[in-house]
Each structure stands twice: as structure tokens, then as C-alpha cells.
Amino acid sequence: MRPAETMDEARLRTYDVATALVAIRAKLVPILLAGVGLGLIGLIYALSLQGTFKAEAVIYPRVPAFSDDAFDPRVLVDTVPDPLTSYAELADLDQIARETSRALGGTPDPIEVDEDVTIKSTGGLISIEAEAESPELAAELANTYARAAIASRRRAAISDVDRVQRNLQANLQDAPRGSPQARDLQRRIDDLNAYRDFQTGNTEQAQKAVAPAASGGRPIVSSTIGGAVAGVLIAIAAVLIADRIRPRIRDRRSAEAAFGAPVLTTITGDGDRAAVETLRAKLLTRPGHDPPRTLVLAPLENEPADRVARRLVAAVALSGRRAISIDADLASAGNPPGPGLAEVLEGEASRVAVTAALADNADSMGPGESARGVGDTAALLHRPAMKALLDDLTSTYELIVMTVPSPVASADAIPLVGEAEVTLAVVALGSLESDCRALAEEVRSVTGSLRGVVLVES
């Protein structure tokens, strides 16, 4: 048994649900548009069927096979394995549509007849379902089509008899005149003449169509709602499938491969003190290296880098060093409320006035509120006031931990990433490997190096 792997699998199963919700939330607009689109299709389809009526006529085809060898008109085979297939092969449906249109005075035309009539096989019978704008026309169309189909089969049967008669006539011409063979052939030809007059095509109408009492259209509301629901479900399935097949960060090894940097710790929850202590030890007690004074935590997307920073500052303070966390994500200005970094950079407040105590030797500074009215927050962080603030803080604190917005998504992070001695990436398990590589490349383009990665489990 491998308990570590079992734990990772359980974590990833839990995270997969969250990842799916994130993927759906990220594609919410296309999903809703797909729902609206299919809903409109359902509405249009339902409206197109409103006011149409359907009527059904039924014919019973016994499809015969004539025996050419015996030239005997009584040799017939009435067993039909598939009535619809056999009927469609033996009947000229285009000709039937033309005759139906002609019998109805040309309206509908043959093409419309073909579109409005549906032929189905039901237990050895042929169902002819006609659709029209009035119940009377629907019934008339179905019955007229049935009569044309029966007439078509009668013509085909007569054609079969004529074909046999031609063969008999040819044999009669070759037979000696007055011979018994000639008399037998003539008798068969006479029998066929009588048989020809009684041909029905072995097809009869088993049920006449009657005018329907109700429209055959679909309900508008249910068709629209059904289409919308189907569209949303199809879009969600497509999003999840596309999202699942993209490579993701599943463990420490895949994270280190994507970032090209070591994973320093994995934080699994708010109370994971051991993981934070591991991070503190790896940062501040590297043999042969002085501990860094300025550190930037760069998230990939929405990872709680500020929470990691505060917990790291608290852990550093417990070791006897003074530390401060600064939330430099000015896009989140006003959360938490109150003055902060933005007011200091604009000269509206002093550093001491906006600093809050987290614990002994541990302080914090929020993003402030005035940055909400600043269009270019990156330029605000690039002001000389920012460098002066860092110089002031390094004279008071032994470690300054700054959190910035994602360098991939925002230019606000670039000035601070360039000023910091050490930059760490903060990434959640389940993040896309391509996004992680983009974050690593962005950080290295500014600082030349990425010290390590902090994995976070939601």
C-alpha cells in the first residue's frame, strides 16, 4: 500500500469537481449562448409545425414474385420479409408523388408531396402519413397518395403479365402450327389475357385516412425549453471534455516539469502550519546564502497568494524576525476596506498609518482604496515612491513578502517582480501546464530566475 499516492488520488478527485466548476464558469457565456441558440431552433421548429395537421392511411401490400420459368400466372409468392423495403423497391415513389399532385390539381406539387408524406412499415402494413395545413387536406393527401400507390402496383403487376405474354408469344411463333405445343401455348396466352384484366397489384387499402381533430404541431414552450436545456448540456459536455484532455498539474513532479523549478511546499489548508514552516525554512536557511529581504508571491490565476503571504510572515515572526506582508494587487483595491499601499504611493497616507499588526513582529498592508480611480495601476507601482517605500521597509523589517496579480494576466506585477530578490510562483493543483509554463517564462523574462513553486490545494 502506498498511502502518499492514495492521498494524492483522493485530493485530485476532490479537486476535479472544483476544476470542472472553474472550467464551466470560465466558459459560461458560450454555454449560455449555446442554450439560447438551440432554444431558438426549438422555438422556430415548433412554430413551423403550428397549424399543421397529420392524417394516416394504411395499405396492405402482398408483393408477388412471378415465375418466368413456368410461365404460370398462378405461381405467386406472398411472403414479404420487409414490406417497406420491398415496397420501396417495387414502387416508383416519384411517379406516385406526381400522380398524387395531378389528382389534387397540382397543389401541392410533386416535390411538396414527397416532403409532406412519410411512409413507414408497421407490422406488415405500409403506413402513409400526410401533413397539411388543414385536416381535410391532410386526409385527402393521404388517401390520394394511397390510391396512387395501389394504382402503381397494379400497373407493375400488369407489366409483369405482359412480359410473360411476350415470352409466350415468342415461343408460339417458333412452335409448329397446329401442334400440341402450339395449342398449349395459345391456351396459356388466353388464360393470361383473362388474368390480366383482374390484376389489382396485390395491394389494397386497409385503412382510409380521416380528418384529424387536433394539430400535429409541437408545444412551443416545451420545445423552446427542451432546446435550451439540450444546448446547455451539450455545451457543458464539450467544455468539460476539452478541459479534461488538456495536461494539468497533478502532483509535485508535473509542477516541477512545467515550471522548471522545485516545489518548495504544498499547502493543503488554512491550518497547514508544517507546510508553511517548511517554506520558511527553505527560504531563510539556505546554506551559503543570506536570507532574502524582499520576496514576491506571483499567483497563476486566483490562488490565495495573500493568505500564503500572511501565514509565511507569521511563521517568520515566530522565529524572531520582523516581517510584513503587502498586498500589491491594486486591482482588488478596497478588499479589505481601508487605506493601504495605494494611499502611501499617492502621498495620501504614511506607511505607519496603513500598517496593521498580524502578531508580534508580523504586520500587513492592504492594497488600499484610492487605486480604484487610477487607470494605470502599473505606473503607480512604478513610481519612485514604491522604491522609497521598499527602502524604508527594509530598514524596519527583515523580510518583506509582496503578493501581486498574475504576471501573465496583468502588467501590474512587472515592477515588483523586477524589484524583488526572490520570486515564487503560487499555483493550484489542477492548473493547466501551458499556463504554468507561461507564468514561469514571464517571471524569468523579468528577473532571470524563479526560485520555486508553492502548490496550493483548494
DSSP string, 192-246: HHHHHHT--TTEEEEE-----SS--PPPHHHHHHHHHHHHHHHHHHHHHHHHHTS
User: CB atoms < 10 A from the CB of 114, how many?
Assistant: 18
Which three cell numbers mark 43? 422555438
Residues of the chain with pLDDT under 50: 1-15, 65-86, 89-90
Domains, the chain: 51-216 (3.30.1890), 252-456 (3.40.50.300)
C-alpha angle 368-373-379 in degrees, rounded to nearest 5: 80
The radius of gyration computed from the CA coordinates of the chain, to the nearest angstrom, equals 42
pLDDT of residue 374: 57
What pLDDT shows up at residue 77?
A: 37
Burial class (CB in 10 A: 0-12, 13-18, 19+), 222: exposed
Cα dist from 455 to 64, 231, 249, 308, 366, whole Å:
78, 36, 10, 10, 23
What pTM, to 2 d.p., does this model score? 0.51
Which pLDDT score, from 0 to 100, does residue 262 have? 92
* Ramachandran quadrant class, 140 (left: phi over 0; alpha: psi -120 to 50; beta: rest): alpha
Nearest residue to 363 (alpha-carbon basis) of 392, 322, 420, 419: 322
Query: Contact 299/427 with Cβ under 8 angstroms?
Result: yes
Say what the pLDDT of residue 270 is. Answer: 61
